[in-house]
Amino acid sequence: MDNRIFNVNGEGEQMLLDTLKLVFTQEGDNTTCKAWKQTDEHGLLLLWWHEDRDKTNPFPAPMTAEQCLPFVTAWLKSDAAKKVKLDGWDASTDHDGSNGAGWRVYCEDWGHVAGRSDAICAIKPVVLWFGK
């Protein structure tokens, strides 16, 4: 579909796996990720295909959501993930509750990320807000 909408935040590996399975399913049952890229604004982008011209990083073989999980989990703990700029609903804010570490899996308009039509999704570390 051309009007994919996806935006989930959460915590923990099981919820992350379930979320990746759902976003991969939006394009059909046999969806695989063939490459990745990261930006300081959008985080980790998982991509439908690899193209040398735009400096994406190919996986050695097509990866399912389950196979991407260890890679995504490791990336979320990396120094590269700490460089992602957080603002709005992703950042820490002054409120009457507490905060915790989490992640967000999302697409932007038209199911793209950073203007890329080859994006399955983007993933970034975020601050989760918890009320009293």
Distance from C-alpha of 74 to C-alpha of 118, rounded to nearest angstrom: 23
Cα gap 114→100, rounded to integer Å: 26
Whether pTM exceeds 0.95? no
- Residue 14 has φ and ψ, to the nearest 5°, of -65, -45
The DSSP output letter for 78 is S
- What whole-number distance in Å separates Cα of residue 46 and Cα of residue 57? 10
Is residue 114 over pLDDT 80? yes
pLDDT 10s digits, 26-57: 876 668 999 999 999 999 999 998 877 778 99
pLDDT tens per residue, range 54-75: 789 999 999 999 999 999 999 9
